[in-house]
Structures are given as C-alpha cells and as structure tokens.
Amino acid sequence: GAGVSQSPRYKVAKRGQDVALRCDPISGHVSLFWYQQALGQGPEFLTYFQNEAQLDKSGLPSDRFFAERPEGSVSTLKIQRTQQEDSAVYLCASSLAVSGTANNEKLFFGSGTQLSVL
Amino acid sequence: AQSVSQHNHHVILSEAASLELGCNYSYGGTVNLFWYVQYPGQHLQLLLKYFSGDPLVKGIKGFEAEFIKSKFSFNLRKPSVQWSDTAEYFCAYIRRYGGSQGNLIFGKGTKLSVKP
C-alpha cells in the first residue's frame, strides 16, 4: 500500500480482555517499530523488528505485551489481560533500511490504534 | 535518563506571526535530531532532520531548525505561520554511539493553534 496501515483504528476493551493490534508496513520495509502514545505525551518506544527478528523489546512495559512479525511483513502487537493504564494510541512505523544506518531515520508512521480499556 | 524537553505545551498564534518552538535533549554525545508534525486526524510526518554539517536545517513548508550543540537545543522556527500549520509538533532524537544507535526518543509535543 501507499503507507503504513494499522487496524483497528479504535478498540474498546474491558479490563482483563486480550487485544491484538495489527500493522501493515510499507511493502519492502525492513525495519518495523511499535510505539505507545499516552494522552498528552509523546510516542514511547516499545519494540523493534528487523525483518522477522525482534531485535529490541526493551520498551515493552510488562510481560503482558507481546509482539510478532513472523514473515517479516505484517506485525501484531498483543496485549493480554488489559489494564486501564494500557489505554493509549499504539503507533506502528516502518523504515526501508536496517536500524543503525542513515536511511533508517526516515520513519513512516501509521495513523495508530486508539485503545481504550474500561 | 534520556529525555527531550519541549518547553511549551500549547502555543496560540495569529496568522503571519513568527514561530519558535523550543526543544532541548539530554544526551551529551552524538545525536541525530528530528522534528515531526501531526496534523489533525493524520499520522506523524517528518518535518526536518539534522544529521551533521550545517546546523541550520531547512525542512518542508518553510520550517527550519537550528542545532546548537552547546545548548543541547534544536529549536523549530517559521517566520510567518499559516492557519494550515495548526498541528502538534514533536521534537525527537536518536543517540549515536560507536557504530550503533539508540531508539527514537520523543518529547511530549507542542500543540500549535493558528488563528485565521
């Protein structure tokens, strides 16, 4: 597609429910990032994939958060047993190049999934 | 801890006014610096970036930013704003160390409202 696509656009979950958020990066993009943006805050890094390999998951806030990119394209961020503090916009970004190279800094962001946990 | 400080949460200007949004980062080593913009209902977009060389960087839509290493700053400027510049602006940086780099660290953002 023309850009990074995320679905669903909005998700309302009851506390304790599991959710899965999908990201379709730009075709051919090697790097994929997930960010969490709480209300009134800037995006905060969650995890990074280079193709199918999850090279950095240092930003995942707890073991309830899990991300995968099994075929090196589409990625899913799963949150188990959601809590109210998980309410945020979850942003996905992709980049053509491998992290650590100059071109990697050109990130293309999706519109995000707004998660509300009641 | 790594951080980016954006001094203003919300800035309100009239059209044709000049704009300067402050940004300071906390890392003393080599960094790459960015400004991203998010227009209402749209995704984050890169406005401009600094890697090396001329510390005055020009971006899209008449925006520019100046990297002042001694002040750890990367302020965004525009001489004359338009109503269409109404958006949220995020300053961000990546640390560079050795042959590697850290992750993109964002500030909390500054909302700019331009009155027609």
Query: What is the four-CA torsion angle of A104, B37, A35, B52, rounded to 10 degrees?
Result: 30
pLDDT digits (tens, 9 = 90+) for A2-12: 799 999 999 99
User: Mutation test of the interface with chain B: which of A24, A32, A33, A99, choosing the one with the most B Cβ atoms within 10 A?
Assistant: A99
* Residue A103 binned pLDDT confidence (cut-offs 50, 70, 90): very low
For every one of its 116 residues, what pLDDT tens digit does chain B have, with 9 covering 90 and above? 668 999 889 999 999 999 999 999 987 778 889 999 999 989 899 999 998 889 999 999 999 999 999 999 999 999 999 999 999 999 998 876 655 566 788 999 999 999 98
Sort B17 into a burial class: Cβ within 10 Å, 0-12 / 13-18 / 19+: middle
- How far A10 CA lies from chain B's nearest CA (Å)? 13
Rounded to the nearest 5 degrees, what angle is found at the Cα of B38, between the Cα atoms of B40 and A1?
95
* pLDDT band at A1; cut points 50, 70, 90: low
Query: What distance in Å separates residue A44's CA from the closest CA in chain B?
Result: 7
**Residue A99: which residues within 8 A CB-CB, separation 6 or more?**
A31, A48, A50, A55, B101
Direct distance between the N- and C-terminal alpha carbons of chain A, in angstroms, rounded to an integer: 33
Tokens 């919300």 sit on residue: B10
